[in-house]
Structures are given as C-alpha cells and as structure tokens.
Amino acid sequence: MTPPGDETWMRRAIALARANLGLTGDNPSVGCVIVRDGMAIGEAATAPGGRPHAEEQALDQAGEAARGAAAYVTLEPCGERSAGHASCGERLASAGVARVFAACADPSAFASGRGVERLRAAGVHYNLGLLQAEAAPLYVDYQPHSRAPPER
C-alpha cells in the first residue's frame, strides 16, 4: 500500500503538469516534484515549447539535496534525448535520487522502459502506476515520438 504522502506529492506533480498542458509543443506536459524529509525541494513542469524537461528543472532547484530524495513524476522519465543531452533517467540517477514514482508509462521511443533501465542500473527504486488514473487524462492527446533514438 502506498503511504498517503506519496499520493499527495504525486497530486502536486499532476497539478504542475496540468498547468502547462497545451504549451509544450510535441513534448508532453510532465510534472515533477522532488521530496526530501517530507518537504518539496524542487518542482517543475515541462517548460513552454517542451524544453527543459520537468525533471531537469526540479533537479536544478534541489541541487545537492536531491541525493537520497524521492521524485514524483507524472510520466516515465526519458531514457534518451532527441538532441543528445543527458536523459531525465540519467539525470535522476546521477543526482542520487533514491526513489522515483511515475504515474504513467511513456510509449515514446525515447522512453518506453529506457529511463527505467537507467534508474534501476543505478540502484534507484522505481515504482510505476502511482495515481495513474488521475494522471492519464493529461496524456490522452499525446502523440509520442515514433522515430527510434540512435543505437549506442
């Protein structure tokens, strides 16, 4: 069973994403809240135009305090970026986040389990599906990238 605090933080991430719906170009509007010791230390939504992603903005706010924290994200973190920058999965792992909760899976070729693989390889606990029914309406019109990222 999920502790009530986890649902509260995910609802905050959903509200952040909802605020930027329709403003993020081809990218989905994602909300991210980073929590440590019961307090939000970073929070953001995908910026207008689609960049920067929510996770990178929230991590910038959190700074070193992100180490050992939990991240609540409305959509599975990307595992590859179309522009070649570090993915959100890489950024979360590098920041030392201990747990990542994602509401919805991302069928994009740039995500679809790739970010999760990066997180798990770094020892980050990953949980998919927290408040999925509440977050899913955010992505009903989302048309994910169909172009596969380059093989490495």
pLDDT tens for 35-90 read 999 999 999 999 999 999 999 999 999 999 999 999 999 999 998 877 778 999 99
CA distances (Å), 62 to each of 12, 82, 145, in order? Answer: 16, 25, 29
* Domain carrying residue 123: 4-139
Angle at 111 between CA 75 and CA 102, to 5 degrees: 25
Is the pTM of the predicted complex or chain greater than 0.85? yes
Asked if residue 144 is part of any domain, the answer here is no
Domain CATH code at residue 20 = 3.40.140.10
* Phi and psi angles of residue 91, each rounded to the nearest 5 degrees, phi first: -65, -45
In this structure, is residue 12 part of a structural domain? yes
Per DSSP, helices labelled H in the chain are 4-19, 54-62, 88-95, 114-121, 132-135
Instruction: Establish if 150 belongs to a structural domain.
Output: no
CA distance 37 to 18: 26
Tell me the average pLDDT of the chain: 91
What residues act catalytically? 55
Number of domains in the chain: 1
